[in-house]
Amino acid sequence: MPKQARRDLRSLLHVPQATLQVELEARLARLGFPSLRPAHTQLLAMIATTSAGADARDGRDGRDGMRLPELVAALGLPKQTVGDLVDDLENERLVERVPDPDHGVIKRVQLGSKGRQWAAEVKKVTQSAELRWASRLGRSKMRSLRALLEELAATVEAPPGSSQRSSRRR
């Protein structure tokens, strides 16, 4: 029997992510949520994390929502593009702009009630997938996978030379 070619890391990471994405889109469509482009979902997910207890370690000030300049920096997109994405999500009532308590003129973008429902459904589907994968891999392997992915994400996200970059070499 011929030996199967080793798959590259990109394709290995893509398989579970794509499977999860299909599940998410199907569930959200069944519940009547609008179909969103990847940039919209990335922005929504970023804002949702601020509602789940963001703190100083992630570069935000711990309040619900984010200011537009924070979103621009985090997404790496032009201010106009991010503003257009926020407008789109606001029109769908998934986010809302609210006054920043520290600055009368500045607005924060936070999840609206429909956006909070969206985030709750995303969390349910994601947790269900993790449980299903843990039952296939075993809890120990799933914990190891999660720990390795957390380490990889922190290493990739950290700027070169920062103390967060992994010092382990193999």
Please report, in angstroms and rounded to a whole number, the separation of the first and last CA atoms in the chain.
31
pTM (2 d.p.): 0.78
13: domain CATH number is 1.10.10.10
Domain assignment of residue 1, yes or no: no
Range of the domain at 132: 9-157
| Bridge partners, residue 66, by sequence | 109
39-77 confidence digits (pLDDT tens):
999 999 999 988 754 443 444 444 689 999 999 999 999
Short-list 88, 98, 106, CA closest to 50? 98
Tokens representing residue 89 in the block: 């999500």
Domain assignment of residue 165, yes or no: no
**Number of domains, the chain:** 1
- Asked if 66 and 74 count as a contact pair (C-beta separation under 8 A), the reply is yes
Domain assignment of residue 54, yes or no: yes
Domain assignment of residue 67, yes or no: yes
122-157 confidence digits (pLDDT tens):
999 999 999 999 999 999 999 999 999 999 999 987
Domain assignment of residue 35, yes or no: yes
